[in-house]
């Protein structure tokens, strides 16, 4: 027994010594860790901080692009991406699954909403991944579609909220505004940035670009923020807002008129520019073919208004005439023999081939005689002095307009025939924007204004103006006296010459027609019906022009009874007349011998807090076309707002204080539909161009935030007068010529 006790005691002592030794080792290790704060060279505090410190991104917003009146043209808007969770381990409670349980059923229900093939969708859901998406079908979905998908209550189907770039007016100054898209960061594939790819979105990207913020905090092991945990916040830096000189209303006039011309004449190109000659501000600019920046269905990436130099035809005669008057060599009463003229061994002919016999130079201007302007350039001005005026009018170099894409033009001044031909718009090429800049000198008392599109750049967080663009003088090529004489002659071109199609009721227009030949790929020029570049450069009102409008149409498909200018006048007349009325330029009426002027606009009154009965009384008195939206008795919102200009017949939208109802949109323009959508926060999609002929929801339907409406638009049937007798004929020239 003694031996056994001794062995037991000895074993106990050994075990005690082992645990004592282990204790001292562990204590020593603890003391060492406490003293150094490291384990195997790793700082424990840093490890703990890394493990329990969480970071979350704070989303910033790309700057908005506005028109001159603060109406958004390009903006960030919320969108959603559909995601499917396939990881079964995320489901804790089988009664409330967090993953896709039945791919077949999910595909059957989800495919119609995403407009996907059911089998393709099912194959995505059966992939061996933790989470999947559905490509372009599941990206950028609207709030309305999100609600429809949520209503299906499909396990494992969720959404990721994002911001997308949205262009509320669709095809609208598209080559000017451009587009932006998400691009993966070259250094981190998990990061995407919205980057401008074209137009103002590209040229002003450094101002529009946003920078996301960051919030850092300590969490528990499940990732939840600890109470009273200190936060470190790097605030988001929203992009700057860019305000354009573009006027949404005038731009809409231009877009609508171009759409109608495209539908009726199917031309290869249309180019349109509207400018304020007093400042150089571009109020509207568009081309066809164009594109919808939401869809990016782009056929031509170039902005033809600034990047398409071509032989302009007789619109160039404006500047040849101005040069001759300025130099004192033009005598409008002097006679010359029209028909043909020899220069540099080549024969120049008038557009009717035979001329009008012996006529005065003033008559030559009204008839758009090539011979008259060839003689002016060669015999009166001299070609070298004429070239000086090309430089004075800026026609030998880019304007420097503040949007990307402007190109160089070509002035051919080597051979005598080219020097003379340039005087009436052949041989040399210029861009539309160069002609508009040069025309500002004629319309602005001799002062030529540099064109620009960017009005200002504003920091939305501080309201600080980062860039404030002021009108810039580009030159003073002629005197005020010369500009007045040119305007008077161009006014007669419209009333008594080749420009009669552009004679607007109520407004005196000064301008010049152009019918330019198109170079053939095989050499020489194209001939045949419609194979010309038809244009008109007009200014109004003639005595003090407030607008310059340039329209050019290339190779329209003409009817048998048409001769060329019809598609140009269809666009020009609509844009010029409506724009003048919109700007409250009062027309001249024939009601009295005193040329009484009538006011065509009024300032919008405030109807806020007024009853419907009060509104209707005021509206009837002022001939306002009110649209009551909702079943309430009092007005809580309106568009236009108080003080804005209202055109007769314009839809005056009034929002009431009860259930919002959808009006009958038949006959509405897309602009008015979008105004309504913005006012009551509904999602509108559209098909076609022109005016509304069909709507997906019946008039009177109750509208809620995010409600979705689709409208179908068609151009109106346009009836126009028969052509007048004195008009441009087909341009003809053996070496150089054209009307």
User: What is the rounded distance in angstroms from the CA atom of residue 447 to the CA atom of residue 417?
Assistant: 31
Q: How many CB atoms lie within 10 A of CB 168?
A: 17
Strand partners for 277: none
Q: Choose the catalytic residue: 79, 174, 314, 428.
A: 314
Measure the CA–CA gap between 444 and 487, rounded to whole angstroms: 10
Q: Could you count the other beta carbons within 10 Å of the beta carbon of residue 290? A: 24
Q: Are 716 and 690 in contact (CB under 8 A)?
A: yes
Closest by Cα among 682, 678, 675, 688 to 709: 682
16 is catalytic: no
Residue written as token pair 């908005």: 64
CA dist 265 → 62, 88, 348, 518, 534 (Å): 39, 60, 31, 18, 13
Which ranges of 37-102 does DSSP label H, i.e. alpha helix? 44-52
245: nearest Cα among 470, 544, 462 = 470
Residue 229: burial class (beta carbons within 10 Å; 0-12, 13-18, 19+): middle
Handedness of CA 141, 147, 148, 150 (dihedral sign): positive
DSSP-assigned beta bridge partners for residue 457: 242, 467
Cα dihedral 561, 565, 570, 574, rounded to 10, equals: -150
Is-contact 265 553, C-beta < 8 A?
yes
Pair 448, 474: CB distance under 8 Å: yes
Alpha-carbon distance values, 209 to 64, 193, 468, 675 (Å): 10, 9, 19, 27
Strands (DSSP E) along 88-167, which ranges?
Answer: 131-133, 157-166
Q: Which two tokens stand for residue 482?
A: 């010369």
Q: Where are the alpha helices (DSSP H) in 610-713?
A: 612-622, 670-680
Taking the C-alpha atoms of residue 393 and residue 438, their distance in angstroms, rounded to an integer, is 5
How far apart are the C-alpha atoms of 732 and 350, rounded to whole Å? 7
Q: Please list, residue by residue across 631-667, b when 16 or more beta carbons sit within 10 angstroms of its beta carbon and e when fewer do.
A: ebebbebbbbeeeebbbeebbbbbbbeeebbbbebee
Residues annotated catalytic, as ranges: 314
């Amino acid at each position: 027994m003694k031996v056994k006790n001794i062995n037991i005691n000895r074993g106990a002592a050994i075990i005690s010594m082992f645990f004592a030794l282990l204790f001292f080792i562990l204590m020593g290790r603890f003391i060492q860790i406490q003293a150094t704060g490291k384990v195997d060279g790793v700082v424990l505090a840093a490890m703990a901080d890394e493990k329990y410190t969480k970071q979350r991104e704070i989303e910033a917003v790309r700057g908005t692009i506005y028109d001159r009146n603060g109406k958004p043209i390009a903006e960030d808007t919320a969108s959603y991406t559909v995601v499917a969770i396939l990881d079964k381990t995320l489901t804790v409670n089988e009664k409330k699954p967090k993953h896709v349980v039945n791919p077949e059923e999910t595909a059957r229900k989800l495919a119609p909403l995403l407009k996907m093939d059911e089998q393709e969708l099912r194959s995505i859901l059966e992939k061996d991944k933790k989470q999947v998406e559905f490509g372009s079908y599941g990206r950028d979905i609207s709030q309305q579609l999100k609600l429809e998908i949520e209503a299906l209550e499909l396990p494992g189907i969720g959404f990721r909220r994002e911001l997308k770039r949205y262009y509320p007016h669709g095809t609208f100054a598209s080559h000017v505004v451009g587009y932006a898209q998400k691009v993966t960061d070259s250094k981190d594939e998990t990061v995407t940035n919205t980057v401008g790819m074209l137009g103002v979105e590209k040229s002003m990207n450094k101002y529009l670009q946003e920078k996301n913020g960051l919030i850092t905090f300590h969490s528990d092991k499940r990732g939840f923020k600890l109470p009273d945990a200190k936060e470190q916040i790097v605030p988001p830096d929203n992009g700057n807002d860019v305000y354009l000189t573009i006027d949404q209303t005038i731009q809409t006039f231009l877009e609508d008129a171009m759409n109608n011309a495209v539908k009726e004449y199917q031309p290869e190109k249309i180019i349109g520019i509207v400018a304020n000659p007093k400042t150089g501000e571009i109020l509207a600019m568009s081309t066809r073919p164009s594109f919808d920046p939401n869809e990016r269905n782009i056929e031509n990436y170039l902005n033809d208004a600034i990047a398409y130099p071509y032989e302009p035809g007789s619109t160039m005669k404006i500047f040849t005439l101005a040069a001759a008057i300025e130099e004192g060599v033009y005598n409008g009463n002097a006679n010359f023999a029209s028909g043909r003229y020899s220069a540099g061994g080549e024969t120049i002919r008038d557009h009717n081939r035979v001329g009008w016999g012996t006529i005065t130079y003033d008559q030559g201007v009204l008839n758009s005689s090539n011979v008259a302007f060839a003689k002016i350039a060669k015999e009166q001005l001299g070609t070298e002095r004429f070239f000086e005026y090309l430089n004075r009018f800026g026609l030998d170099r880019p304007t420097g307009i503040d949007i990307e894409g402007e190109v160089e033009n070509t002035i051919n001044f080597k051979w005598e025939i080219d020097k003379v031909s340039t005087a009436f718009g052949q041989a040399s090429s210029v861009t539309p924007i160069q002609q508009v800049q040069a025309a500002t000198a004629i319309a602005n008392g001799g002062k030529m204004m540099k064109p620009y599109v960017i009005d200002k750049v504003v920091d939305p967080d501080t309201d600080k103006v980062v860039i404030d663009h002021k009108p810039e003088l580009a030159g003073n090529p002629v005197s005020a006296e010369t500009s007045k004489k040119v305007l008077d002659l161009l006014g007669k071109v419209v009333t008594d010459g080749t420009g009669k199609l552009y004679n607007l009721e109520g407004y005196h227009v000064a301008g010049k027609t152009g019918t330019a030949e198109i170079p053939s790929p095989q050499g020489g020029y194209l001939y045949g019906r419609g194979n010309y570049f038809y244009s008109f450069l007009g200014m109004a009102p003639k005595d003090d022009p407030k607008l310059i409008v340039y329209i050019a149409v290339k190779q329209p498909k003409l009817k048998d009874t048409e001769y060329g200018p019809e598609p140009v006048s269809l666009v020009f007349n609509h844009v010029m007349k409506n724009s003048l009325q919109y700007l409250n330029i009062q027309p001249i009426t024939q009601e009295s011998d005193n040329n009484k002027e009538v006011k065509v606009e009024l300032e919008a009154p405030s109807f806020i807090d007024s009853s419907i009965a009060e509104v209707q009384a005021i509206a009837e008195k002022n001939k306002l076309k009110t649209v009551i939206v909702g079943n309430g008795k009092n007005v809580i919102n309106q568009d236009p707002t108080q003080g804005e200009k209202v055109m007769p017949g314009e839809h005056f939208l009034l929002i009431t204080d009860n259930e919002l109802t959808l009006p009958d949109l038949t006959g509405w323009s897309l602009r008015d539909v979008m105004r309504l959508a913005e006012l009551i926060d509904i999602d509108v999609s559209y098909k076609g161009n022109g005016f509304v002929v069909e709507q997906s929801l019946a008039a009177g339907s109750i509208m809620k935030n995010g409600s979705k409406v689709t409208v179908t638009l068609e151009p109106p049937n346009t009836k126009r007068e028969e052509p007048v007798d004195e008009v441009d004929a087909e341009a003809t020239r053996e070496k150089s010529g054209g009307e």
